[in-house]
């Protein structure tokens, strides 16, 4: 089943990418109010979603219907594995079947990966001119991450302040699950203007989950694309 709502992009494929909210409204208008209720998605089958919670008080990660949402409390990452939050930014899709693709070991940087994912999508008849979700599994060489914890009342937004407002760090040689959305036509909506990708992650041991700021891929990692 395909789900549609306001701000959706409908395409003749087995999945639909939907979104609520926009980065440009956060950055330029300081609008971090709720735009979607996660509970409205609770019964969606094979749901994959990422975003930021209301008032930028945490990160949203949902893998195959399982929430791994995170927030900061007393200087530590806490998990909220429920659908009780509201989102100021949310991107999501329902995908039942995925195509696994071995990522060449020559693909290391985010720029390398962005080019690779576009070319691979073309090979598998995915319209790379429309938004699509993807997964990555394996041991990453390095991941820069953050979990946002925005200061109440702060109206001056920047990407750097979003990273530094909560907890952030660099992980090395960790087994991870990555969830991302690719689009070359949603800059300042759900991707920043310098990239076509928005990626979140969770560690396999579930100790950390959040937004990916930079990535260096490891050996023998697997990309998964929606199967048409």
pLDDT by residue for the chain (228 residues), tens only, comes to 232 333 334 345 778 999 999 999 888 888 899 999 999 999 999 999 999 999 999 999 999 999 999 999 999 999 999 999 999 999 999 999 999 999 999 999 999 999 999 999 999 999 877 899 999 999 999 999 999 999 888 788 888 888 888 999 999 999 999 999 999 888 778 988 788 999 999 999 999 999 999 999 999 999 999 997
In a domain, 104, yes or no: yes
From 42, 75, 94, the end of a domain falls on 94
Query: 42 and 121: one domain?
Result: no
| CA 128 – CA 122 distance, rounded (Å) | 6
Query: 61 and 102: one domain?
Result: no
| CA 38 – CA 34 distance, rounded (Å) | 10
Per the structure block, which two tokens stand in for 130? 């429309």
Query: 126 and 189: one domain?
Result: yes
From 60, 94, 128, the end of a domain falls on 94
The model's pTM is: 0.92
Query: 85 and 107: one domain?
Result: no
Residue 194 maps to which CATH number?
3.30.1330.80
Query: 156 and 202: one domain?
Result: yes
In a domain, 1, yes or no: no
In a domain, 132, yes or no: yes
From 94, 118, 152, the end of a domain falls on 94
**190, 23 Cβ separation under 8 angstroms:** yes
In a domain, 89, yes or no: yes
Query: 124 and 215: one domain?
Result: yes
What does the pLDDT read at residue 9? 41
Query: 111 and 149: one domain?
Result: yes
Domain limits at 113?
Answer: 98-226
Residues 6+ apart with CB under 8 A from 119: none
Query: 102 and 90: one domain?
Result: no
In a domain, 80, yes or no: yes
In a domain, 8, yes or no: no
In a domain, 6, yes or no: no
For the chain, how many structural domains are there in total? 2
Query: 112 and 166: one domain?
Result: yes
In a domain, 13, yes or no: no
Comparing CA positions, the residue from 183, 116, 114, 133 lying closest to residue 13 is: 133
Query: 69 and 112: one domain?
Result: no
Query: 178 and 203: one domain?
Result: yes
Query: 74 and 156: one domain?
Result: no
């Amino acid at each position: 089943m395909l789900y549609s709502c306001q701000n959706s992009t409908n395409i003749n494929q087995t999945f639909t990418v939907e979104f609520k909210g926009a980065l440009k409204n956060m950055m330029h208008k300081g609008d971090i109010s709720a735009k979607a209720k996660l509970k409205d998605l609770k019964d969606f089958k094979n749901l994959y979603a990422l975003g930021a919670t209301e008032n930028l008080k945490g990160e949203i990660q949902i893998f195959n219907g399982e929430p791994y949402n995170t927030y900061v409390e007393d200087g530590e990452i806490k998990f909220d594995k429920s659908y009780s939050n509201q989102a100021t930014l949310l991107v999501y899709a329902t995908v039942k079947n995925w195509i696994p693709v071995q990522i060449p070991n020559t693909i290391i940087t985010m720029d390398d990966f962005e080019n690779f994912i576009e070319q691979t999508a073309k090979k598998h008849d995915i319209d790379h001119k429309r938004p699509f979700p993807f997964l990555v599994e394996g041991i990453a060489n390095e991941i820069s991450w953050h979990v946002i914890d925005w200061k109440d009342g702060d109206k001056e937004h920047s990407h750097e302040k979003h990273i530094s407002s909560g907890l952030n760090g660099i992980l090395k040689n960790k087994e991870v699950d990555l969830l991302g959305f690719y689009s070359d036509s949603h800059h300042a909506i759900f991707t920043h203007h310098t990239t076509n990708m928005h990626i979140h992650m969770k560690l396999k041991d579930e100790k950390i989950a959040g937004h990916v700021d930079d990535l260096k891929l490891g050996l023998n990692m697997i990309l998964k694309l929606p199967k048409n």
